[in-house]
Amino acid sequence: MRAILLSIILMLPIMKCSSQEISKERQPYAAGRFYTSDRKELVAELDALFDECLKVEAPGLARAIIVPHAGYVYSASVAASAFATTPKKGSYKNIFIIGSTHVMGFSGASVYESKEYVTPLGVATTNRMITGKLKESALFAFPEHLHDNDHVIEVVIPFIQNYYEDNPQIIPIIVGTDDRNTIKKMAETLRPWFTPENLFVISSDFSHYPYYDDAVVVDSLTAEALMSANPDQFLKVLRNNSSKRIPGLATSMCGWSSGLLLLDMIQGSPGLDFKKIDYQNSGDSRYGDKSGVVGYNAIGLYEKGNLFDSELLFTDKEKEELFRIARLSIESWLNNRRYPTIDGSGINQKLKEKYGAFVTLKIDGVLRGCIGKFVSDDPLYKAVSESAISSAFSDPRFPQLTKDEYPNIDIEITVLGPMKRIYDKNEIVLGRHGVYIRQGSMAGTLLPQVAIENGWDVDEFLEYTSQYKAGIGRSGWKRAELYIYEGVVFEEKR
């Protein structure tokens, strides 16, 4: 593995910890070493970094960023420039933080499943549903104590805590292997979560300890190879850099195995482009020595253009109006058994367009009803009104919603774009596309978010829709007509 790793190798994973072990907090290790342990000083420093860092316009929604993890006095400005290309609010439910071990090598990855990963800014909550699913694979079930004395994840978290306004959950992963086949398998396991609602942050510095001018050259070559999105080209350049025997060069990228994991994960994902954001090395800091530096690249991976057709973009005010109508409709039927009278004169024109819509009801995260329309002859606000009532009182899977249940419901509204016939399952982008399967008079659908909520890959998404929605068996989709549609999902903020 990297030259800086110790030679101790753990050959066997330790399976899932006990509930007592899972509940413990991971206390700060790098605070006071790599960044200040004083909360007020840290807030002020991060605020200044985001104000002063290099600002680069993102070409689309950021799906992944590569950021350094050195001491803040050396690299924090570069890291901030990468985060600054991502939306501060409303885009990401989860942030996967992936870095390569600095402590010891082992033959897989360690996922931190505990509820809280602590920094001086407070606790960053892990998504235990996702971490639990990952740890069902032996590749991701290595002991959590491998996080305790490693800074690779921790130094990234204060950026997340300071920058994002809606507190996305984190999935902290330390990679301990450089085995090519193992990394490919790990990428396959992670791929179902590589969706627009999840940001992947790769924590890695680049060259270690060459002279300043050599670092600039090597770091550029490594970054360009990574941005080729070709894993073989990336590995080739790493080998070439090593073969040049550049004085002082210990590694071209200390977290190269995590970078490789990202490249393997995005294979077969169309419509993505890498973009270089910023570069410095420790020699650029007033504390640095140009005779032996560490390189820092900020690189982003972005959707080409907008994630959805611009017609499916809604303002916060428009979303709030749809939720108001949904609740008004449910309350009207719950109390009076009639549809509400909605005055369309004061409703935004966008909500009068004819879109399909589904309304999903949940209680404590558990489905309580979901009904909607692919297409509608009525304006969107009426489609939402009717779908809300149908979901609450006409979903055949559930009894009618009661007055006692109503205060506990959470509402999701999915607005649908047009359906498109496809002939290759690889056109399906998980998290973006819903699927509709039809064979003769049998048909069924699942919304875009369902695959992500269940951690399915494309085959599992199709098989479940085929068997349980269309009723034509698990493999029936292979003989049926396949359609995809895009949908934007709004979650009510209460």
pLDDT digit string, tens, across residues 392-414: 999 999 999 999 999 999 999 99
The topology (CATH level 3) of 310-491 is Glycoprotein, Type 4 Pilin (3.30.700)
The pLDDT score that the predictor gives to residue 193 is 93
The two tokens of residue 353 are: 């367009």
343 Rama sector, left if φ>0, alpha if ψ -120 to 50, beta otherwise: beta
Q: Are strands 295-303 and 62-67 parallel, antiparallel or unpaired?
A: antiparallel
The pLDDT score that the predictor gives to residue 3 is 37
CA 427 to chain centre: 20
Task: Annotate the chain with three-state secondary structure.
Answer: CCCCCCCCEECCCCCCCCHHHHCCCECCCCECCCECCCHHHHHHHHHHHHHHCCCCCCCECEEEEEECCCCHHHHHHHHHHHHCCCCCCCCCCEEEEEEECCCCEECCEEECCCCEEEECCEEEEECHHHHHHHCCCHHHECCHHHHCCCCCCHHHHHHHHHHCCCCCEEEEEEECCCCHHHHHHHHHHHHHHCCCCEEEEEECCCCECCCHHHHHHHHHHHHHHHHCCCHHHHHHHHHHHHHCCCCCCCCCCCCHHHHHHHHHHCCCCCCEEEEEEEEEEHHHCCCCCCCCCEEEEEEEEEECECCCCHHHCCCHHHHHHHHHHHHHHHHHHHHHCCCCCCCHHHCCHHHHCCCEEEEEEEECCEEEEEEEECCCCCCHHHHHHHHHHHHHHCCCCCCCCCCCCHHHEEEEEEEEEEEEEECCHHHCCCCCEEEEEEECCEEEEECHHHHHHHCCCHHHHHHHHHHHHCCCCCCHHHHCEEEEEEEEEEECCC
The pLDDT score that the predictor gives to residue 196 is 87
pLDDT tens, position by position, 183-233: 999 999 999 899 888 999 999 999 999 999 999 999 999 999 999 999 999
- The answer to whether the 9-303 and 310-491 domains have the same CATH topology is no
The pLDDT score that the predictor gives to residue 312 is 65
Give CA–CA dist 406/191, Å, rounded.
36
Residue type, 40: K
Q: Could you tell me which CATH number the domain at 9-303 has?
A: 3.40.830.10
The pLDDT score that the predictor gives to residue 91 is 81
The pLDDT score that the predictor gives to residue 305 is 52
Task: Report how far apart, in Å, the C-alpha atoms of 13 and of each of 2, 108, 141 are.
Answer: 21, 8, 6
Contact call for residues 303 and 429 (beta carbons, < 8 A): no
Please report where in the chains the tokens 């840290």 appear, as a residue: 42
The pLDDT score that the predictor gives to residue 315 is 83
**358 burial type by CB count under 10 A (0-12 exposed, 13-18 middle, 19+ buried):** buried
The two tokens of residue 36 are: 């200040």
The pLDDT score that the predictor gives to residue 16 is 37
Contact call for residues 302 and 63 (beta carbons, < 8 A): yes
Q: Where are the domains of the chain?
A: 9-303, 310-491
| Regions of the chain short of the pLDDT cut 70 | 1-24, 115, 305-312, 493-494
